[in-house]
Amino acid sequence: MYFFLATLKIAYVLTIPKPIVDEAADEAIKQTAMKQKQRWEDDDTYCKGYILGGLSDTLYDVYEIKYVNNTTKELWDDLDSKYKTEDAGNKKFLISKLFDFRMENSKSVITQIHELLMIMNLIISEGHSLDKSFQVSTIIFKLPLAWKECRKELKQKKDVMTMQELVKYIQVEENSRNLDRLELEENKSSKALVIDHGSSSGTKQIGKVKTQSMRIKFTLLRKWGKEVN
């Protein structure tokens, strides 16, 4: 907005006060001062109109009435102070939300990672710089307590892992853990019920999928291990 006002050559009213006419001065000087004062008042009116015109209808109704008899500078300072404070407050809120974020064992880790990435993207959109290495390290650090051993492994690879590789690894690990849980539940059920052919084959299928997931996981770890070495 300021650049636009400067292009119109009326932005000076935001920094230069209205000229004062000295009634005791010579007539020629007084006439010059009166012209300068009139020009300033006209430009101040135009400037205020452009600023108000850039507001939403709701804000226009509020500020148009509030500053009908005030200068453009007073309107500008009010808007600048209000939205700078809100912007700073929003950034502070997002950064606090990032550092206070804690993953829970009872929720999907991948889902919580997406929530964390959303917060980081909002912080970036507010003008803060979060490099990829910091983002990867943050996610590893915030893995839930049940992932303690996995977190130790990933800390050794964090400098060579991309975000995509980290998410892929965690997805494989989470799938493997879910299969472990299903297998445990299946084993518990088999102790209480008569195991028929169908349930037996189902257990074998779970074991097969689990083995495939573990192979992918170890392949990824082997790849990053080579990059580190």
pTM for this entry: 0.50
Long-range contacts of 161-165 (CB under 8 A, 24+ apart): 161/136, 161/224, 162/132, 162/136, 163/117, 163/132, 163/135, 163/136, 163/139, 165/220, 165/224
Q: Which residue has the higher pLDDT, 227 or 97?
A: 97
Q: Lowest mean pLDDT: which of 22-26, 111-115, 184-188, 225-229?
A: 225-229
What was the pLDDT predicted at 158?
A: 83
End-to-end distance of the chain based on CA atoms, in angstroms? Answer: 54
Query: Rounded mean pLDDT of 60-77?
Result: 86
Maximum C-alpha span of the chain: 114
Ordered by start, the domain boundaries in the chain are 2-84, 101-228
Q: CB-based contacts of 128: which residues, under 8 Å, 6+ apart?
A: 91, 95
Q: Contact 156/180 with Cβ under 8 angstroms? A: no
Distance CA 14, CA 46 (A): 12
In the predicted structure, residue 32 carries a pLDDT above the cut 50: yes
> 103 and 150 in contact (C-beta within 8 Å)?
no
Structure tokens at 175: 């799938």
What is the dihedral angle through the alpha carbons of 16, 18, 23, 24, rounded to the nearest 10 degrees?
A: -10
The structure tokens 């005030």 sit at: 70
| 204-224 residue pLDDT tens | 555 555 555 556 655 655 555
Report how far residue 229's alpha carbon sits from residue 132's, in angstroms, rounded to the nearest whole number.
21
Q: Which of 167, 164, 160 is nearest to 227 (CA)?
A: 160
